[in-house]
Amino acid sequence: MRPGKKSSAPRMAGDAATKGGFRGYLAEFLDSMAARHFSAHTVKNRRIELGYFIDWCEERSIGRPDEVTRALLERYRQHIFHYRTRTAGAPLSFQTQSKRLISVRVFFQWMTRAHHLLYNPASELELPRAEQRLPRHILTVAEVAQVLNACQLADASGLGVRDRAMLETLYSTGMRRSELVALRADDIDLERGTVLIRQGKGRKDRAVPIGERACRWIQKYICEFRPAYVDAEDPGILFLARHGEAMQAKQLSVIVRKAIEAATPERFKNTHPNAACHLLRHACATHMLENGADIRFIQALLGHSSLSTSRSSN
Protein backbone atom coordinates (compact mmCIF):
# COMPACT_ATOMS: atom_id res chain seq x y z
CA MET A 1 0.00 0.00 0.00
CA ARG A 2 1.36 3.46 -0.86
CA PRO A 3 2.12 5.76 2.08
CA GLY A 4 -0.85 7.90 3.06
CA LYS A 5 -3.40 5.69 1.27
CA LYS A 6 -6.10 4.29 3.55
CA SER A 7 -7.42 0.78 3.21
CA SER A 8 -11.15 0.41 2.52
CA ALA A 9 -11.27 -3.03 4.20
CA PRO A 10 -12.59 -3.32 7.77
CA ARG A 11 -9.75 -3.80 10.19
CA MET A 12 -9.77 -6.40 12.94
CA ALA A 13 -10.26 -5.13 16.47
CA GLY A 14 -7.81 -5.89 19.26
CA ASP A 15 -6.27 -9.36 19.46
CA ALA A 16 -8.72 -10.61 16.83
CA ALA A 17 -6.24 -9.54 14.15
CA THR A 18 -3.91 -12.38 15.14
CA LYS A 19 -6.59 -15.07 15.02
CA GLY A 20 -7.27 -17.47 12.17
CA GLY A 21 -9.29 -16.79 9.07
CA PHE A 22 -12.86 -17.38 8.05
CA ARG A 23 -13.11 -20.96 9.30
CA GLY A 24 -12.27 -20.12 12.90
CA TYR A 25 -14.76 -17.28 13.04
CA LEU A 26 -17.41 -19.42 11.36
CA ALA A 27 -17.05 -22.07 14.07
CA GLU A 28 -17.33 -19.39 16.77
CA PHE A 29 -20.38 -17.88 15.07
CA LEU A 30 -22.14 -21.25 14.86
CA ASP A 31 -21.35 -21.95 18.52
CA SER A 32 -22.92 -18.61 19.44
CA MET A 33 -26.05 -19.53 17.50
CA ALA A 34 -26.33 -22.83 19.35
CA ALA A 35 -25.85 -21.04 22.67
CA ARG A 36 -28.74 -18.72 21.75
CA HIS A 37 -30.94 -21.79 21.19
CA PHE A 38 -31.28 -21.60 17.43
CA SER A 39 -32.51 -24.90 16.05
CA ALA A 40 -30.00 -27.44 14.77
CA HIS A 41 -31.63 -27.10 11.34
CA THR A 42 -31.01 -23.33 11.27
CA VAL A 43 -27.42 -23.71 12.44
CA LYS A 44 -26.77 -26.35 9.77
CA ASN A 45 -28.20 -24.13 7.04
CA ARG A 46 -26.09 -21.16 8.14
CA ARG A 47 -22.99 -23.39 8.01
CA ILE A 48 -23.80 -24.56 4.49
CA GLU A 49 -24.74 -21.11 3.16
CA LEU A 50 -21.68 -19.43 4.64
CA GLY A 51 -19.56 -22.30 3.35
CA TYR A 52 -20.47 -21.28 -0.21
CA PHE A 53 -19.40 -17.71 0.52
CA ILE A 54 -16.13 -18.70 2.19
CA ASP A 55 -15.26 -21.08 -0.66
CA TRP A 56 -15.92 -18.27 -3.15
CA CYS A 57 -13.69 -15.91 -1.17
CA GLU A 58 -10.86 -18.42 -0.83
CA GLU A 59 -10.93 -19.08 -4.57
CA ARG A 60 -10.05 -15.38 -4.87
CA SER A 61 -7.29 -15.60 -2.24
CA ILE A 62 -9.40 -13.90 0.41
CA GLY A 63 -9.11 -15.89 3.62
CA ARG A 64 -9.93 -13.38 6.35
CA PRO A 65 -13.08 -11.41 7.19
CA ASP A 66 -11.08 -8.18 7.48
CA GLU A 67 -10.26 -8.45 3.76
CA VAL A 68 -13.93 -8.28 2.78
CA THR A 69 -15.18 -4.98 1.37
CA ARG A 70 -18.56 -3.74 0.25
CA ALA A 71 -17.37 -3.94 -3.34
CA LEU A 72 -16.42 -7.59 -2.86
CA LEU A 73 -19.84 -8.39 -1.40
CA GLU A 74 -21.48 -6.75 -4.38
CA ARG A 75 -19.41 -9.01 -6.63
CA TYR A 76 -20.61 -12.01 -4.63
CA ARG A 77 -24.23 -10.88 -5.00
CA GLN A 78 -23.74 -10.64 -8.76
CA HIS A 79 -22.08 -14.07 -8.76
CA ILE A 80 -25.11 -15.60 -7.05
CA PHE A 81 -27.49 -13.90 -9.47
CA HIS A 82 -25.66 -15.14 -12.56
CA TYR A 83 -24.77 -18.59 -11.19
CA ARG A 84 -26.19 -21.61 -13.06
CA THR A 85 -26.38 -25.12 -11.67
CA ARG A 86 -24.06 -27.68 -13.23
CA THR A 87 -26.71 -30.31 -13.85
CA ALA A 88 -29.70 -28.38 -15.23
CA GLY A 89 -28.03 -25.07 -16.04
CA ALA A 90 -30.79 -23.32 -14.09
CA PRO A 91 -30.42 -20.13 -12.05
CA LEU A 92 -30.66 -20.21 -8.29
CA SER A 93 -34.15 -19.57 -6.99
CA PHE A 94 -34.99 -16.28 -5.30
CA GLN A 95 -35.24 -18.10 -1.97
CA THR A 96 -31.77 -19.64 -2.36
CA GLN A 97 -30.19 -16.34 -3.36
CA SER A 98 -31.81 -14.58 -0.40
CA LYS A 99 -30.77 -17.26 2.10
CA ARG A 100 -27.13 -17.10 1.02
CA LEU A 101 -27.02 -13.31 1.24
CA ILE A 102 -28.93 -13.18 4.52
CA SER A 103 -26.42 -15.59 6.03
CA VAL A 104 -23.59 -13.30 4.96
CA ARG A 105 -25.33 -10.27 6.45
CA VAL A 106 -26.03 -12.05 9.73
CA PHE A 107 -22.45 -13.32 9.96
CA PHE A 108 -20.90 -9.88 9.51
CA GLN A 109 -23.44 -8.35 11.86
CA TRP A 110 -22.28 -10.84 14.49
CA MET A 111 -18.61 -10.13 13.66
CA THR A 112 -19.20 -6.44 14.36
CA ARG A 113 -21.21 -6.96 17.54
CA ALA A 114 -18.59 -9.38 18.85
CA HIS A 115 -15.93 -6.69 18.19
CA HIS A 116 -14.06 -8.82 15.69
CA LEU A 117 -14.56 -6.07 13.08
CA LEU A 118 -14.73 -2.33 13.57
CA TYR A 119 -17.50 -1.89 11.01
CA ASN A 120 -19.88 -4.08 9.06
CA PRO A 121 -19.10 -4.30 5.30
CA ALA A 122 -22.43 -6.09 4.71
CA SER A 123 -24.62 -3.41 6.31
CA GLU A 124 -25.82 -2.18 2.92
CA LEU A 125 -25.86 -5.54 1.09
CA GLU A 126 -29.13 -5.63 -0.84
CA LEU A 127 -31.27 -8.73 -1.15
CA PRO A 128 -33.00 -9.71 -4.40
CA ARG A 129 -36.56 -8.46 -4.60
CA ALA A 130 -39.20 -11.12 -4.98
CA GLU A 131 -42.52 -10.82 -6.71
CA GLN A 132 -45.42 -11.25 -4.32
CA ARG A 133 -47.12 -14.23 -5.91
CA LEU A 134 -50.17 -16.10 -4.75
CA PRO A 135 -50.31 -19.85 -5.38
CA ARG A 136 -51.22 -20.48 -9.00
CA HIS A 137 -53.81 -23.11 -8.05
CA ILE A 138 -55.53 -23.90 -4.79
CA LEU A 139 -57.13 -27.25 -4.05
CA THR A 140 -60.91 -27.14 -3.80
CA VAL A 141 -62.75 -28.88 -0.96
CA ALA A 142 -63.68 -31.70 -3.34
CA GLU A 143 -60.08 -32.05 -4.54
CA VAL A 144 -58.80 -32.20 -0.96
CA ALA A 145 -61.25 -35.03 -0.32
CA GLN A 146 -59.86 -36.86 -3.35
CA VAL A 147 -56.30 -36.40 -2.07
CA LEU A 148 -57.19 -37.75 1.36
CA ASN A 149 -58.96 -40.74 -0.17
CA ALA A 150 -55.92 -41.51 -2.34
CA CYS A 151 -54.10 -43.09 0.62
CA GLN A 152 -53.81 -46.87 0.28
CA LEU A 153 -55.83 -47.86 3.33
CA ALA A 154 -55.92 -51.53 2.36
CA ASP A 155 -52.14 -51.78 2.85
CA ALA A 156 -51.67 -54.43 5.54
CA SER A 157 -48.58 -52.63 6.84
CA GLY A 158 -50.73 -49.78 8.10
CA LEU A 159 -48.70 -47.18 6.24
CA GLY A 160 -51.81 -46.08 4.39
CA VAL A 161 -53.57 -45.33 7.66
CA ARG A 162 -50.49 -43.43 8.85
CA ASP A 163 -50.43 -41.44 5.61
CA ARG A 164 -54.13 -40.62 5.89
CA ALA A 165 -53.63 -39.45 9.48
CA MET A 166 -50.74 -37.20 8.40
CA LEU A 167 -52.64 -35.66 5.50
CA GLU A 168 -55.72 -35.12 7.65
CA THR A 169 -53.53 -33.38 10.24
CA LEU A 170 -51.91 -31.12 7.65
CA TYR A 171 -55.23 -30.04 6.21
CA SER A 172 -57.05 -29.71 9.53
CA THR A 173 -54.38 -27.62 11.25
CA GLY A 174 -52.51 -25.92 8.40
CA MET A 175 -49.21 -26.72 10.09
CA ARG A 176 -45.90 -26.77 8.25
CA ARG A 177 -44.30 -30.05 7.23
CA SER A 178 -41.38 -29.45 9.63
CA GLU A 179 -43.89 -29.02 12.44
CA LEU A 180 -45.76 -32.20 11.59
CA VAL A 181 -42.69 -34.45 11.52
CA ALA A 182 -41.62 -33.00 14.88
CA LEU A 183 -44.95 -33.80 16.58
CA ARG A 184 -44.71 -36.08 19.58
CA ALA A 185 -47.45 -38.48 20.56
CA ASP A 186 -48.14 -36.53 23.74
CA ASP A 187 -48.54 -33.26 21.79
CA ILE A 188 -51.98 -34.45 20.62
CA ASP A 189 -54.96 -34.10 22.97
CA LEU A 190 -57.61 -36.15 21.17
CA GLU A 191 -60.27 -35.54 23.80
CA ARG A 192 -59.99 -31.76 23.65
CA GLY A 193 -59.15 -31.67 19.95
CA THR A 194 -55.93 -29.66 20.25
CA VAL A 195 -52.35 -29.98 19.04
CA LEU A 196 -49.34 -28.40 20.74
CA ILE A 197 -46.80 -27.29 18.15
CA ARG A 198 -43.49 -26.91 19.93
CA GLN A 199 -40.87 -24.45 18.74
CA GLY A 200 -42.47 -23.72 15.39
CA LYS A 201 -41.03 -21.18 12.99
CA GLY A 202 -39.53 -18.39 15.05
CA ARG A 203 -39.08 -20.90 17.90
CA LYS A 204 -42.55 -20.15 19.30
CA ASP A 205 -44.92 -22.71 20.80
CA ARG A 206 -48.58 -22.56 19.82
CA ALA A 207 -51.68 -24.65 20.47
CA VAL A 208 -54.05 -25.15 17.55
CA PRO A 209 -57.40 -26.91 17.18
CA ILE A 210 -57.70 -30.10 15.14
CA GLY A 211 -60.90 -31.46 13.63
CA GLU A 212 -62.79 -34.54 14.76
CA ARG A 213 -62.15 -36.45 11.54
CA ALA A 214 -58.38 -35.93 11.82
CA CYS A 215 -58.55 -37.03 15.46
CA ARG A 216 -60.30 -40.26 14.48
CA TRP A 217 -57.59 -41.12 11.96
CA ILE A 218 -54.83 -40.32 14.43
CA GLN A 219 -56.57 -42.49 17.04
CA LYS A 220 -56.80 -45.37 14.56
CA TYR A 221 -53.13 -45.03 13.65
CA ILE A 222 -51.98 -44.83 17.28
CA CYS A 223 -54.07 -47.75 18.51
CA GLU A 224 -53.91 -50.17 15.59
CA PHE A 225 -50.67 -49.59 13.68
CA ARG A 226 -48.10 -47.38 15.42
CA PRO A 227 -47.15 -49.99 18.08
CA ALA A 228 -45.92 -52.33 15.33
CA TYR A 229 -43.26 -49.78 14.33
CA VAL A 230 -41.99 -48.98 17.82
CA ASP A 231 -38.78 -50.68 18.89
CA ALA A 232 -37.86 -51.44 22.50
CA GLU A 233 -37.48 -47.73 23.15
CA ASP A 234 -40.31 -45.54 21.87
CA PRO A 235 -38.80 -42.37 20.33
CA GLY A 236 -42.01 -40.53 21.21
CA ILE A 237 -42.39 -39.08 17.72
CA LEU A 238 -45.99 -39.41 16.57
CA PHE A 239 -45.52 -40.31 12.91
CA LEU A 240 -42.88 -42.98 12.35
CA ALA A 241 -41.24 -44.16 9.15
CA ARG A 242 -41.23 -47.75 7.95
CA HIS A 243 -38.45 -48.95 10.26
CA GLY A 244 -39.57 -47.10 13.38
CA GLU A 245 -37.42 -44.01 12.93
CA ALA A 246 -38.80 -40.47 12.92
CA MET A 247 -40.42 -39.36 9.69
CA GLN A 248 -38.27 -36.89 7.72
CA ALA A 249 -39.67 -33.78 6.04
CA LYS A 250 -38.58 -34.96 2.58
CA GLN A 251 -40.28 -38.32 3.11
CA LEU A 252 -43.49 -36.54 4.07
CA SER A 253 -43.31 -34.36 0.97
CA VAL A 254 -42.98 -37.39 -1.29
CA ILE A 255 -46.00 -39.07 0.36
CA VAL A 256 -48.15 -35.95 -0.02
CA ARG A 257 -47.07 -35.37 -3.62
CA LYS A 258 -47.94 -38.94 -4.59
CA ALA A 259 -51.42 -38.54 -3.09
CA ILE A 260 -51.94 -35.23 -4.90
CA GLU A 261 -50.77 -36.60 -8.25
CA ALA A 262 -52.95 -39.70 -7.89
CA ALA A 263 -56.10 -37.76 -7.12
CA THR A 264 -56.14 -34.30 -8.67
CA PRO A 265 -56.46 -32.73 -12.15
CA GLU A 266 -53.59 -32.11 -14.53
CA ARG A 267 -52.78 -28.68 -13.11
CA PHE A 268 -51.33 -30.34 -10.00
CA LYS A 269 -49.56 -33.25 -11.71
CA ASN A 270 -46.01 -31.87 -11.63
CA THR A 271 -46.09 -30.49 -8.11
CA HIS A 272 -42.59 -30.17 -6.68
CA PRO A 273 -42.16 -32.31 -3.54
CA ASN A 274 -41.22 -29.27 -1.46
CA ALA A 275 -44.47 -27.54 -2.45
CA ALA A 276 -46.81 -30.49 -1.88
CA CYS A 277 -47.44 -29.89 1.83
CA HIS A 278 -47.92 -26.18 1.17
CA LEU A 279 -50.85 -27.01 -1.11
CA LEU A 280 -52.72 -28.47 1.86
CA ARG A 281 -51.63 -25.56 4.06
CA HIS A 282 -52.89 -23.04 1.49
CA ALA A 283 -56.11 -24.98 1.08
CA CYS A 284 -56.68 -25.02 4.85
CA ALA A 285 -56.29 -21.23 5.12
CA THR A 286 -58.35 -20.50 2.02
CA HIS A 287 -61.26 -22.76 2.95
CA MET A 288 -61.37 -21.33 6.47
CA LEU A 289 -61.45 -17.79 5.10
CA GLU A 290 -64.20 -18.70 2.62
CA ASN A 291 -66.24 -20.08 5.51
CA GLY A 292 -66.01 -16.87 7.53
CA ALA A 293 -62.97 -17.39 9.76
CA ASP A 294 -61.32 -14.19 10.98
CA ILE A 295 -57.97 -13.46 9.34
CA ARG A 296 -56.37 -12.97 12.77
CA PHE A 297 -57.45 -16.45 13.82
CA ILE A 298 -55.91 -17.84 10.64
CA GLN A 299 -52.74 -15.88 11.40
CA ALA A 300 -52.49 -17.50 14.82
CA LEU A 301 -53.33 -20.94 13.44
CA LEU A 302 -50.63 -20.82 10.77
CA GLY A 303 -48.03 -19.35 13.11
CA HIS A 304 -47.52 -16.19 11.05
CA SER A 305 -46.02 -13.11 12.67
CA SER A 306 -47.81 -10.69 10.32
CA LEU A 307 -51.19 -10.43 8.65
CA SER A 308 -49.61 -9.85 5.24
CA THR A 309 -48.03 -13.31 5.38
CA SER A 310 -51.39 -14.87 6.24
CA ARG A 311 -53.09 -13.06 3.35
CA SER A 312 -50.53 -14.46 0.92
CA SER A 313 -51.37 -17.97 2.13
CA ASN A 314 -54.94 -17.83 0.90
- The yes or no reply on domain 141-311 and CATH 1.10.443.10 is yes
**Domain ranges for the chain:** 14-113, 141-311
Kindly give the confidence (pLDDT) of every residue in the chain, 314 residues in length, as a single tens digit, with 9 standing for 90 and above.
444 444 444 444 433 333 558 999 999 999 999 999 888 999 999 999 999 999 999 999 999 999 999 999 999 999 998 888 888 888 888 889 999 999 999 999 999 999 999 999 999 998 887 554 555 678 889 999 999 999 877 777 789 999 999 999 999 999 999 999 999 999 999 999 999 988 655 567 888 999 999 999 999 999 999 998 887 678 889 999 988 888 999 999 999 998 988 887 666 666 676 788 888 988 998 888 888 877 777 777 777 554 444 444 44
pTM of the full structure = 0.59
Beta strands in 120-222 (DSSP E): 188-189, 194-197, 206-209
State residue 138's pLDDT score: 83
Q: Which long-range contacts (CB under 8 A, 24 or more apart) does 122-129 make?
A: 122/68, 122/70, 122/73, 124/70, 125/70, 125/73, 125/74, 125/77, 125/101, 126/77, 127/97, 127/98, 127/101, 127/102, 128/81, 128/94, 128/97, 128/98, 128/101
Q: Which CATH architecture fits 14-113?
A: Orthogonal Bundle (1.10)
pLDDT of residue 148: 94
